[in-house]
Amino acid sequence: MTDVVAHDAELDASGLNCPLPLLKAKMELNRLASGAVLKVIATDAGSQRDFRTFARLAGHTLLREEDDAGVYRYWLKKA
């Protein structure tokens, strides 16, 4: 799959288990300006549920998510 969404920062959380991908993403989002897009790469299947819920509760926008043979990619736009 290809990057179809432009992003301002990228976080590779491959190999990390829940809740670390989400925690690292939250830390990275804190560094970014409002409206910036963070691309996250994860391998934890639970990250799908985590990122959907996090985006909804925190007010961020989950622009896109991909699942490519167990590699999950998320594009989060900071509120």
Structure tokens at 8: 């301002």
Is the overall model pTM greater than 0.85, yes or no? yes
- In the chain, the domains with their CATH numbers are 7-76 (3.30.110.40)
Token duo for residue 64: 């896109």
Q: In what order do the strands lie in the sheet with 61-68?
A: 9-13, 37-42, 71-77, 61-68
- Please report, to the nearest 10 degrees, the dihedral formed by the alpha carbons of residues 43, 72, 13, 2 taken in order: 130
Chain segment 12-23, per-residue pLDDT in tens: 999 999 999 999
Which residues are catalytic, by number? 18
**pLDDT tens-digit readout, 27-69:** 999 999 999 999 999 999 999 999 999 999 999 999 999 999 9
